[in-house]
Structure 1
Amino acid sequence: MDTALYAFVEDLRSEGVDKVLDRVSACGVQGVTIAAAYHQARDVTPHGSSRVTVRRDGVHFPPPEDVFAGLRLVPPVQDGAAEEPLTELRRACSERGLRMHGWTVFLHNATLGLANLDVTVQNCFGDRGSPADLCPSHPDARSYSVALARAVARQGVDSVVAESLHFGTFAHGYHHERNFVALGPMDTFLFGLCFCRHCMQRAVDLGVNAEVAKEECGRIVAGVLDGDPPAQGEVTRAALTAYAGPEVVAYARARSESVTSLVAEVSAAVTAEGSRLSFVDSTASIKGYADGLPPSGLAAHDAWQIGVDVVALGDLVPSLAVPAYARDAARVADDIGAYQRSVGKDCELRAVLRPGLPDTDSADRLAAKVRAARAAGAQAVDFYAYGLAPFEVLDRIPGALA
């Protein structure tokens, strides 16, 4: 079984490529999924030379000039990219017989968004209030995504692991966010829908009354901001229809056309460069990221909320990665099983587990979740992430895989 450990270029600089790969190999995995293009973050890095690592938006390699020639959006370049750390890592992986995958954050980029606000999502009030989220419907964001995919594929990776190649959520549209209004889950969802002219036109082309959807979202969210009680309960199509009306639900579902067509373009570009695409559906991550206690709705059933049509993608991409962030092995099995039934047998299904907090408190729990993921249909189990987990937590992986 092909397994991999997620890692950051900063890990390589801090500890050295050979030391990191020695530990990766000791974990019993067959590859490393390196953050080739990442986003802003501040991480506690327990065994790094810096115990707190500040990350920036951008790529860890010199962007190929021919790929981005004539494009409005060009990725920021990380410090040290000129030293081509991915080239060194690829050489070292090859010597050890390890696979190297290119972890790529596509449409979550505050640096590009702040400099080009018109390519970011636009809410029902006309605000560009989520500058870190580029809109999958915007032509410039789409061209940028295809070019970025080609650029990462050219780094000689076995696969391009695509994160944030879909719509974002209102709750994570920037960094250091504040909200002292009691917005319910459905209000938050409505607040995060994009009503830029590109999204609205795509919806109209699919027969949706986009203006009515926008007006209803504005009416409902404005009411809650003005003091109306928020809606309770999870976001489901039935609940949302009752709360906001059928046109809003139709508009939300129409967003999957933007994502599906963009993923198809990106996958074709990656294939043309001699690699393959592994699409990360962040739905399960969103649901369980904070505490490993996701709400009851299964991720595969709720993926439409970020524009992901799991069934359609099963026919388009060779691999689908699911961040199964849950404490309970049974919940991991349920989520993976739902994806397996949706994507079919021709699409590789990869489960991504966190070996430590907040999901996993013991080696036994991690082993149970690995068994559950495999039994539910995962062909591979990956682990997130080398630099964020203490060594004693990483030491749980070999036994879990055995």
Structure 2
Amino acid sequence: MDGSLYVYVEDVRDEGAGRVLDRVAGYGLRQVTVGAAGQASRDVTPHGASRVTLRADGVHFPPPAGLFDGLRLVPPVQPGAAGRPLAEIVAAAGERGMTVHGWAVFLRNVTLGRADPEVTVRDCFGGRGHPAGLCPAHPDVRRYAVALARAVARQGVAGVVAESLHFGGFAQGYRQERCFVPLGPMDEYLFGLCFCAWCMRRATDLGVKAEVAREECTRIVGAVLDGDPPAQGEVTRAALTAYAGPDVVAYARARSETVTSLVSEVAAAVGAEGATLTFLDGTGHHKGHADGLPPAGLAAHDAWQLGVDLVALGDLVPSFGVPAYARDPARVADDVAAYRRSVGPDRELRVVLRPGPPDTDSADRLAAKVRAARAAGGDRVDFHAYGLLPYRVLDRIPAALGRPGRPGSA
């Protein structure tokens, strides 16, 4: 059950490819999942050269000739990409008999969204206040996603790990968020739905009253913004039906056709390049990212909120990434088991755990979560992420995997 460690290119640039890969091998792992196409962030990096790393939107390699010719959207190129750092990592891994997967953030890119707002999410009021959110229904975004998948697959990686290949949520609209109006979970969900012309058209073609849904969202969210009390409780189909009506729920459910068809195109493109697609569902990340205490609804059951139909994707995608960001090993087991039931018995499940805070406070807890993931049907356990954690936290990995191997060498 050999898993991988998520690694950022900036971390490798600081420490050197050979040093990082030798340390990863010391953890008992023979795979790395490297950020080939990332998003803007500011991260505290405990063993990085500057201890704080600024990351930019874009790819860590020169885009292959011809792939983006004539496309409306072209990925920004990261500083230092001309030096081909990803190729250096792939080569160094090959020398060590290690496998590299290319991790790519697809539809969350504030640089592209700010430059061309028409390809971003359009809320029920007609605003484009989600510059980081590229809309998966927009034809130019879909062409961009397919080209980006091909570009990453051509970097000599065994597989492409696709993050954000679905709709996003309201809270991920921009780098810094300020909201002094108390929005409840359902109000945030309605405010995050996209009502661009392409989304409206797709929903209408499926028999949904898209304009009625938009008007209901405008009425409900507008009232809360004007001072009405927000709705309480988790977002479920039943609760949303009672709060916003069946047309809104039908509109939200129709988004799964948009995502399923896009993922199908991307999976075919990656396969044509001789690589394997791993679909990384963001639901578990959203639910537990802040504190490792996800609300009651299991990630697999709530994936529909991002337009993700796991049953349909189980027929199209060979591998799934399952961020199990929870402190409780029993919750990890429940989430993994629900994914297994949804995608079927023959799909690979790569369970993503965080070895340190806020999910994990000890080596024993990490080991318990690894056992829970395995027992519930996880095929591999991946760990996130090398550059974000002190070495002493990363050193929990070998024991958690049940291996006597040494911690990563300094």
Q: TM-score, normalised by structure 2?
A: 0.98
- Per-residue CA deviation, residues 276-314 of structure 1 (Å, 9 max, x unaligned), is 100000101100000000000000000000000011111
Distance in 1 (CA, whole Å) between partners of 2:267 and 2:14 is 33
Between 1:139-148 and 1:60-69, the stretch displaced more is 60-69
| 4+ residue runs over 6 A deviation | none
The match for 2:250 is 250
Distance in 2 (CA, whole Å) between partners of 1:238 and 1:176 is 32
The match for 2:25 is 25
Alignment of 1:3-402 (within 5 A): 3-402=3-402
Alpha-carbon shift at residue 172 of structure 1 (Å) = 1.0
Distance in 1 (CA, whole Å) between partners of 2:329 and 2:282 is 19
Partner SS, residue 133 of structure 1: strand
Distance in 2 (CA, whole Å) between partners of 1:123 and 1:82 is 38
Alpha-carbon shift at residue 87 of structure 1 (Å) = 1.1
Alpha-carbon shift at residue 65 of structure 1 (Å) = 2.3
Partner SS, residue 49 of structure 1: coil
Distance in 2 (CA, whole Å) between partners of 1:158 and 1:393 is 28
Distance in 1 (CA, whole Å) between partners of 2:337 and 2:116 is 40
Distance in 1 (CA, whole Å) between partners of 2:346 and 2:272 is 20
Alpha-carbon shift at residue 177 of structure 1 (Å) = 0.8
Distance in 2 (CA, whole Å) between partners of 1:80 and 1:266 is 27
Distance in 2 (CA, whole Å) between partners of 1:190 and 1:178 is 18
- Per-residue CA deviation, residues 91-126 of structure 1 (Å, 9 max, x unaligned), is 111111111000000000000000010000000000
For structure 2, the 5+ residue unaligned runs are 403-410
Partner SS, residue 316 of structure 1: coil
Alpha-carbon shift at residue 64 of structure 1 (Å) = 1.1
Percent of counterpart pairs with the same letter?
72
- Per-residue CA deviation, residues 134-182 of structure 1 (Å, 9 max, x unaligned), is 0000000000000000000000111100000000100111111100100
- Per-residue CA deviation, residues 56-107 of structure 1 (Å, 9 max, x unaligned), is 0000000012111110100000011011111111111111111100000000
Distance in 1 (CA, whole Å) between partners of 2:370 and 2:50 is 31
Q: TM-score, normalised by structure 1?
A: 1.00
- Per-residue CA deviation, residues 348-381 of structure 1 (Å, 9 max, x unaligned), is 0110000000000000000000000000000000
Report the count of equivalent residues.
402
Question: Aligned partner of 2:318: which letter?
Answer: P
Distance in 1 (CA, whole Å) between partners of 2:56 and 2:215 is 37
Distance in 2 (CA, whole Å) between partners of 1:307 and 1:240 is 15
Question: Aligned partner of 2:236: which letter?
Answer: T
Distance in 1 (CA, whole Å) between partners of 2:206 and 2:346 is 29
Alpha-carbon shift at residue 2 of structure 1 (Å) = 2.7
Partner SS, residue 180 of structure 1: coil
Distance in 2 (CA, whole Å) between partners of 1:171 and 1:296 is 20
Distance in 2 (CA, whole Å) between partners of 1:168 and 1:87 is 30
Supply the RMSD in Å over aligned alpha carbons: 0.5
Partner SS, residue 247 of structure 2: helix
Partner SS, residue 54 of structure 2: strand
Question: Aligned partner of 1:131: which letter?
Answer: P
Alpha-carbon shift at residue 29 of structure 1 (Å) = 1.1
Question: Aligned partner of 1:309: which letter?
Answer: D
Question: Aligned partner of 1:247: which letter?
Answer: D
Distance in 2 (CA, whole Å) between partners of 1:298 and 1:13 is 37
Partner SS, residue 218 of structure 2: helix
Partner SS, residue 67 of structure 1: coil
Alpha-carbon shift at residue 248 of structure 1 (Å) = 0.1
Question: Aligned partner of 1:333: which letter?
Answer: A
Alpha-carbon shift at residue 30 of structure 1 (Å) = 1.6
